[in-house]
Structure 1
Amino acid sequence: MNVLQGIAAALTPLGLLWTVLIIGVATFLHELAHYALARRQGVAVHSFSVGMGPVLLRRQWRGTEWRLSLLPIGGYVEIDGMAPEEDGQGGYRQPTRGFAALPAWGKVAILLAGPLTNLLLAIALMTVTFTAQGVPAPDRARIEEVVAGSTAQTLGLRTGDVITAIDGQDIPDTTRVGGREVAGWEGVRDVLTRPGPHTFTVVSGGQTRHVRFDWTPTVNGERQLLGIRYGPDVQATTAPAAFVRAWQVTGEAVPQVLRSFGELFARFLTLNLSRDENVSGPIGTAEIVSRAATVSPWALVQVAILLNLSLAFFNLLPIPGLDGGRILLVLVGSLRGRPLTFSQEQAINLAGFAFVMMLMLFVVVRDVSRFF
């Protein structure tokens, strides 16, 4: 019961609703892209489901059965020629029509459409965010709040001050904190773990001043707080510049995302259930969304950006059962001059599907284990 109470306390009804909506929209557009590219090439789509599991509602339209399913997670499209067909003797064989009859580039286009749509949606949301709120500056930390009666207030730090240098050194674009690479402005926290004299170079109202103070991280075993809440400074930008910056941020995110997936696979293979801040399961995701819902609509947009990027990159991994794995099989068949045999493809896809299911189960178990 304590575990259930812990999970319930971490989530909110509004957060759960937003989680379903954000994941639902991302999944719907992903599957809609597969559907559109298949129909564009004359391939029939037998069914399109929003959600998984038992079908609640169904309607036939334009040769496709549109379904609303019970579980509000994921979705699927049933494209003609992707699944094995009955051979008339109680067995199955490789399909020869629809998707299977397309040239390699046509198959890749259908498979690539889903992840690419999520990627473009993330870039579009980033462009809107940067245009409306400005582009985050990784080398400048803006003070968003000063706690009343804190050391920061005594030092004269004020909301809106921008920290541009620490101890006479300009804040770099990136730094390492806790063994991981982060934006330079996050290094302010690392400085406050080191005792001794420090200097913040602060810009406020176009004026620059130096704030000097002696710092003791702990007193009688208790951690001391400077008393500020801060984040990256932002710089106003135009929509075209925001669009370019969105592509740059996406490119910069690729190594970090791949590293996170690599760490997840390593933890899975060693059954390491310790918490990983870079990868969250369904409960962790809903918890993040619940917190974001209490902050601002823009915080929810940030979560939507991260979820769409994660969905795009994960589906492009060359794991059988995912879009990336299917693309790999298509390319292998193209290089061989003939597709893999039915038994070969079935064995590979079954192994890939089993791996993905076990990986998902591991993430869920790790999510729940932190409440014990």
Structure 2
Amino acid sequence: MSFLQSLSAALTPLGLLWTLLIISAATFMHELAHYALARWQGVQVHSFSIGMGPVVFRRAWRGTEWRLSLLPIGGYVEIDGMAPEEFKTDGGEVGYRQATRGFAALPSWGKIAVLLAGPLMNLLLAVFLMTLTFTSQGIPAADRARIQTVQEGSRAQTLGLQPGDVITAIDGREIPETLQIEGRTVMGWENLRNVLGTPGPHTFTLERAGQTRTVTFAWQPTVNGQRQLLGIGYGPDIVPAPLPVAFQTSLTTTVQAVPQVLRAFGNLFGRFLTLNFSQDENVTGPIGTTEIVGRAAAASPWALVQVATLLNLSLAFFNLIPIPGLDGGRILLVMIGSLRRRPLSFSQEQAINVAGFAFVMLLMMFVVVRDVSRFF
């Protein structure tokens, strides 16, 4: 298959449409939070754009020009006093200097509130979507494995295993919620794969139609050099969850995701600095994201909601990275100025922001090139 054929197979119209809708919605809410916190503190917002590039529609409302721009990617708010202001020198030339009004005149906590509002909104959206999913679909039970499919003529069928059976214990021991496999933390139900890689007698304790059953069998992972399969598809058991439990689980899941996301971004930065273009399943580019969204849209609405949750989480955490040009970098500069008891000079802040913006752009180019390279 040629490069163009592979690319067109990944970028389906359905995937492109839903990717643009999800990212546009996440960006809109992100920028709306910046807007709301600025206006709440009496700071004027000159413009609010959905999309980037040339403006195709504009309307003034409540002191802000609301825009719809041509390119349906991202968006922005133009908050008074956040960008440098123009001035004319004695010679009539146009120069730039640090703004002294609007955002620039806010106390440090006010500036941080405006900057933090965007990522926090995406975080809240992710928690809301997770809560909605858990309430409607139930919560995955990490310590219980549900058999989803049983292959015809397989060893599992011979043993009497059936779809819907819930494995509650393996070899007489209850399944833990988490465990360490190959140096990483996984859910307890995933240990089933590890067990089936170990020869010898094994016992499954099952729940079926409210009754407990025990299945004992001898197992050899390989026979005559060929890998053996038990013949089941499985995943975590799903248990119903009332709203308070769903909300609490969403918060817990978000907190547990923090170290995983930090490791993923750390790995990405390491690959970027060493120009390592090998694929990484934890971080994907725009083509990979569109491919995932397309598969989710074709699978079910709830799969699409899960992808939207992950995208909002990623947007929140990425914007909080303390790199100048991102919200986290701007917050860092505000904190440095607060500790120094005077803001950075115009030239210092501009140099830092330009360097940070260049780094982010190079990082984005690296992600895109790595994303495209897998089709060659």
TM tier, shorter chain?
Answer: over 0.9
Residues 1-372 of structure 1: matches in 2 within 5 Å? 2-89=2-89, 90-218=94-222, 223-372=227-376
* RMSD (CA atoms): 1.7
* Alpha-carbon separation, structure 2, partners of 1:223 and 1:292: 31
* Alpha-carbon separation, structure 2, partners of 1:131 and 1:12: 31
Q: Return 285-294 or 337-346, whichever deviates more.
A: 285-294
Secondary structure of residue in 2 paired with 1:176: strand
- Alignment check: 8 A CA contact 1:54 1:70 kept: yes
Secondary structure of residue in 2 paired with 1:111: helix
Secondary structure of residue in 1 paired with 2:88: coil
1:32–1:175 Cα change, 3 Å: same
* Alpha-carbon separation, structure 2, partners of 1:273 and 1:178: 24
Could you list the per-position Cα deviations for residues 273-321 of structure 1 after superposition, in whole angstroms to 9, with x for gaps in the alignment? 1111111111111111111112211111111111111111111111111
TM-score where L is the length of structure 2: 0.94
In the TM superposition, residue 11 of structure 1 has moved relative to its aligned partner by: 3.3
* Alpha-carbon separation, structure 1, partners of 2:265 and 2:166: 34
* Alpha-carbon separation, structure 1, partners of 2:49 and 2:194: 48
In the TM superposition, residue 60 of structure 1 has moved relative to its aligned partner by: 2.2
Q: Return 235-244 or 112-121, whichever deviates more.
A: 235-244
Letter in 1 for 2:361: M
* Alpha-carbon separation, structure 1, partners of 2:194 and 2:155: 17
Letter in 2 for 1:91: G
TM-score where L is the length of structure 1: 0.95
Secondary structure of residue in 1 paired with 2:276: coil
In the TM superposition, residue 220 of structure 1 has moved relative to its aligned partner by: 6.0
In the TM superposition, residue 135 of structure 1 has moved relative to its aligned partner by: 1.6
Letter in 1 for 2:170: I
Secondary structure of residue in 2 paired with 1:359: helix
Q: Give me the identity figure in percent.
A: 74
Letter in 2 for 1:60: A
* Alpha-carbon separation, structure 2, partners of 1:228 and 1:345: 59
Could you list the per-position Cα deviations for residues 41-77 of structure 1 after superposition, in whole angstroms to 9, with x for gaps in the alignment? 1111111111122322222222222222222221111
- Alignment check: 8 A CA contact 1:292 1:300 kept: yes
- Alignment check: 8 A CA contact 1:176 1:187 kept: no
1:218–1:22 Cα change, 3 Å: farther
- Alignment check: 8 A CA contact 1:140 1:164 kept: yes
Letter in 2 for 1:300: L
Letter in 2 for 1:299: A
1:7–1:166 Cα change, 3 Å: farther
In the TM superposition, residue 227 of structure 1 has moved relative to its aligned partner by: 2.3
**Structure 2 unaligned residues grouped into runs of 5+:** none
Secondary structure of residue in 2 paired with 1:73: strand
Letter in 2 for 1:118: N
Letter in 1 for 2:101: R
* Alpha-carbon separation, structure 2, partners of 1:187 and 1:24: 39
Q: Return 304-313 or 68-77, whichever deviates more.
A: 68-77
Letter in 1 for 2:52: M
Runs of 4+ in structure 1 deviating by more than 4 angstroms, as ranges, are 218-223
Q: Return 111-120 or 69-78, whichever deviates more.
A: 69-78
Q: Return 302-311 or 200-209, whichever deviates more.
A: 200-209
Letter in 1 for 2:117: A
